[in-house]
Structure 1
Amino acid sequence: MSDIGGDQTRWLDDDEQRSWRALVMGMTLLLDRLDDDLRRQCDLSLVEYEILVRLSEAEDRRMRMAHLADALAHSRSRVTHTVARMEHAGLVVRMSSPDDGRGVVATMTDKGFDLLERMAPLHVEGVRTHLVDLVSREDFQAVGRVMNAVCDHLVEGHPAMEIR
């Protein structure tokens, strides 16, 4: 590897490499499992579930589409496409912003809220079983601190992205 990247590359040492690969593999497997569980139970993807969660936490269960995309750290086009599928399924509706008429607002329907209420226990149990309960409370808190630092760094370094 020493010929790749030149002398200035700060290569990961063996411990860092093992940790990095464990993080990538673990996150891939965890997100795939959580997504599979939701799809099997109600034909809802993990991203769609997260959209319902964000809307359920917002005032009047509604958010501007741009704010929703920022909150999920997804592209606006990806969120627009996903919300369109959810709208077709009757889980959300989109309309012009009642405040200024310029933006588009997504609002969770009662059907969407009912689905979220049914699926939340399944999702939380999956998160507990496949992550939280596998490690000590202190280790899990450390993961949270690490990922918060990553988020802060990447958001700060990407002025177009604003987590709300």
Structure 2
Amino acid sequence: MSIRLIVKHPDDVLREQAKEVTKFNANLHKLLDDMADTMYDADGVGLAAPQVGISKRVIVVDVGDDNGLIELVNPEFVSMEGEQLGPEGCLSIPGLQGDVRRANRVVIRGFDRNGKPLQYEGTELLSRAFQHEVDHLNGVLFVDLAESVYEARREPEQDGE
């Protein structure tokens, strides 16, 4: 397992339609392991393979809930409903955030690292993360959908208290 370089906008791979995964093998397992390590190292809640320069339909998500780390290969939405408007950022577009309108509840299916079918239901932040990462697989960035884009808010520094 290792940390990979996160590709930054406007790299072309971020605008490509990612290719479907057909081989569930050790290379895929390494990619998933590296993507999780990279996401955690960057304090992200999701990462798509194009963000590490690999045009494959693979995402990892961990929003800090009971699901823990979710790995999905060839994800697709089964249903989407409701609406939410909220802030998003992206590890590939540092320094910017935007308010993006998303479905509030989704059902998504795909495969695990061994090709076993999986399905998840997500609401609120998990729903948003799934949609954001699947957009990456289709060459769509949050700035394309944002109703407004602004500088990311910085966390206040601790002063030793």
Q: Which has the higher strand share?
A: 2
TM-score (norm 2): 0.23
Larger CA Rg, structure 1 vs 2? 1
TM-score (norm 1): 0.23
